[in-house]
Every structure is written in C-alpha cells, then in structure tokens.
Amino acid sequence: MKTQRSLPFGTGVIAVLLVQAAASVALAQDVDFSGAWSPLYHEDGPERLPGPELGDYTGIPVTDAARLRADSYDADRISVVTEYQCRQHSADYSMRGLATLRVDSEVDPATQRRLAFHTRIGFQAMERTIWLDGRPHPPPEGAHSWQGFSTGVWNGNVLTITTTHLKAYYLRRNGIPSTPNRTLTEHWMRHAEFLTVVTIIDDPAMLTEPLVRSQSWVLDPGQQMGPQQCEYVTELPGAAQLVPHHLPGTNPWLHMFADEYGLPYAATRGGAETLYPEYRSVMGQPAKPPPAQCDVYCICSTLFDCNRVPGTNLLGGRIPGVPVGGPARAVAPPAAAAPPRTSGAAQ
C-alpha cells in the first residue's frame, strides 16, 4: 500500500499567495503611464496660460542673484538673440506648459520588464527618455540639453525621476532664471485617468530652497500630435551681437504687477519668506489701493477666460447689466518713457 503523506494544511494556499504577491509587487512597482495626456490648468492658471506678469516673483524662493537677473531680463532677448528663438522648453518648465503630452513605454522583449518611458510634448518636439534600467547619469563634463538626462525609480506606485544635465533656462517666463547646475526631481502619480506630477527644482544659485510645484493631466486618447519644425529669423538688422537687457535700476515694468493687483511691492519680489502664511502679517500695505474691479486675469482657467474682456462672455458677447471693462490685459507702459535698456556700447 502506498502511503500518501499530506503536506500541512494551507501550504498550497500559501504558495499561490506567494505567486500572487510576487505579481502584485511587480505591478506595484510598475505603473504604466503610456497614453496621450492633456494638461489641466486648475493650478497656477494665470502664470501658465497668458503668462506671468513682469515683476511677479511671488511663490518663488529666489536668491538675490535670481532677483537681479530677473530685473535685468528683457523678453526681447529671446527673439533678438536668434540662438534662442527655436529653443524647446527645458524639462522642468515644459511640464507646466500648454502642449499635450504623449508617453510611450519601452520594454525588454525577453523579460517584459519596463526599460524606459519616452515622452513627447507637442511644443517644439520636446522628447525625453526616462530610463528605468539603472544606468548612471553622464559625468559632469557631459553635454547638457533642454530635456536633460532622466532616470526613474519606483517608490511604491510612484515613479520618482531625477533629471540632470539641463541647459540654462528660466523658472518663470518673466525672466527668473535657472542655471545648468540644477537638478529636477519629479514624482509621477497616476489615478485612473488623471496624472499628477510634482516637480522639485534644486538650484542653489537661484533658489534658497527647493521650488516645489505640481501639475495635473487628464487622459486624452484622441489627440493628434503633428510634426514640428522651427527656423529662426533675424528680426532686427545688425542685431547679431545685441543682447537686450535692463541695466540695474532701470527696468520700468517692475511695479506694474503690484499696481494692477493692489499688492505691496515687497510681496511681489519673491523669496522664501514670502511663501508662507506668516508673511501676511509683515508684508505691509500696497502703494496703491486695489482696483475697484479686477480686470486682469481674474478668472483664468482656460485661455478663453484669460483673454476675455470683462463684461463679456466667452464668445465675446456682452453680459447684460455688466459694464464692459475694456481690454482684459492692461498693456499701457508706465507714464515715463522707458529708458534705453542697455548702454548699447557692448556690441
């Protein structure tokens, strides 16, 4: 008679659970972000859609160096200096932009493990690879690019991405600069149809503490992403050696933001101390009272909102009983004529 000995009760169940657990671990460390995504603007709409006001450094823990560089910034620089005309956004800025995002996944055919995510953002064909295979970053002397070099590791179901080797760019479109020495850390989180990306920028030369921001995206599988091409054009004769900028103390636009919104000027100058609620008790009073009616980017979650003339609806029609407030965006220069932006001699 053959004796059949049984294994202790439950051994098979445990084995099955082990297999399931292994599969779960694998899944938990590997969320698929593949797909087409559209950006949402419920966060920082005015900054991201029409663009930040000149002199608005709020929310940025700028150093004195960054503040001076931003005060000197003249937006003509990115058109007059032809080398900048076609540039992409850098990876830390592009996630806050207006273009759609596509994410493709690359897997090892043998193991089916994910090797990388490839992202493309529609504006200026911003393509980035996020390596998941553990490769090291290039050495410090390696070339920089707009998208930098990105590697990712899983923290549970959050993908944490580190990006280095970025070219110098700006943190905010009004000229707050970033240096090529910065590091970008991202945390990618997917909740069904929504993607949230938290970005953390460390740039000690320009920031006294890390700059933390977040952006959200919604799955948008029907979108089309066309090819991109850019060719620079010279916009001013003889401008090849001209670098527009404002000499210290001569930028006439720096008070515009504070005046339009009725804010204390000091509060618009940024810095870590202005980021926290306690600052409200010491920020002082505005030089001018707030306008009776807000007419600059007051309701701004889409481009239509941002460009809407107060008193009109999204289609441009008048809203009965509401006065039309004139141009939504006041662009009148300061009363005094702007002084020459450069001495013009360093050409």
Q: Which of residues 284-323 bind other proteins (CB under 8 A)?
A: none
Q: Is 167 in the site for other proteins (CB under 8 A)?
A: yes
Site string for other proteins, 5-34 (x = CB under 8 A): x-x---x---xx-xx--xx-xx--x-----
Q: Is 124 in the site for other proteins (CB under 8 A)?
A: yes
- CA 100 from chain centre, in angstroms, equals 13
Specify the stretch interacting with other proteins by CB under 8 A; choose among 173-181, 192-200, 219-227, 262-270. Answer: 173-181
How many angstroms separate the CA atoms of 142 and 337, rounded? Answer: 45
Specify the stretch interacting with other proteins by CB under 8 A; choose among 193-201, 239-247, 263-271, 304-312. Answer: 239-247
Residue 76 per-residue DSSP state: T
Residue 335 exposure: Cα atoms within 13 Å on the Cβ side: 1
Q: Which of residues 84-103 bind other proteins (CB under 8 A)?
A: 84-88
Q: Is 38 in the site for other proteins (CB under 8 A)?
A: no
- Token match 């970053």: residue? 137
Region of residue 321 (phi > 0: left; psi between -120 and 50: alpha; otherwise: beta): left
Which CB atom, from 245 or from 308, has the smaller least distance to other proteins?
245
Q: Is 248 in the site for other proteins (CB under 8 A)?
A: yes
Specify the stretch interacting with other proteins by CB under 8 A; choose among 132-140, 252-260, 288-296, 308-316. Answer: 132-140
What is the nearest approach in angstroms of other proteins to the Cβ of residue 85?
Answer: 8
Q: Is 120 in the site for other proteins (CB under 8 A)?
A: no
What is the nearest approach in angstroms of other proteins to the Cβ of residue 244?
Answer: 10
At residue 51's C-alpha, the angle toward residues 40 and 290, to 5°, is 105
Residue 121 per-residue DSSP state: E
List Cβ neighbours of 10 (8 Å cut-off, separation of 6 or more): none
Q: Is 72 in the site for other proteins (CB under 8 A)?
A: yes
User: Each residue of 9-48: b (16+ CB within 10 Å) or e?
Assistant: eeeeeeeeeeeeeeeeeeeebbbebebbbebebeeebbbb
Site string for other proteins, 138-157 (x = CB under 8 A): -xxxxxxxx----x-x----
What is the nearest approach in angstroms of other proteins to the Cβ of residue 339?
Answer: 11
Specify the stretch interacting with other proteins by CB under 8 A; choose among 50-58, 129-137, 300-308, 331-339. Answer: 129-137
Give residue 12's identity as a one-letter amino acid code: G
User: Which residues share a beta bridge with 150?
Assistant: 130, 163
Number of residues assigned to the chain: 347
Q: Is 281 in the site for other proteins (CB under 8 A)?
A: no
What is the nearest approach in angstroms of other proteins to the Cβ of residue 325?
Answer: 38
Specify the stretch interacting with other proteins by CB under 8 A; choose among 38-46, 77-85, 255-263, 272-280. Answer: 77-85
Q: CB–CB of 94/121 below 8 Å?
A: yes
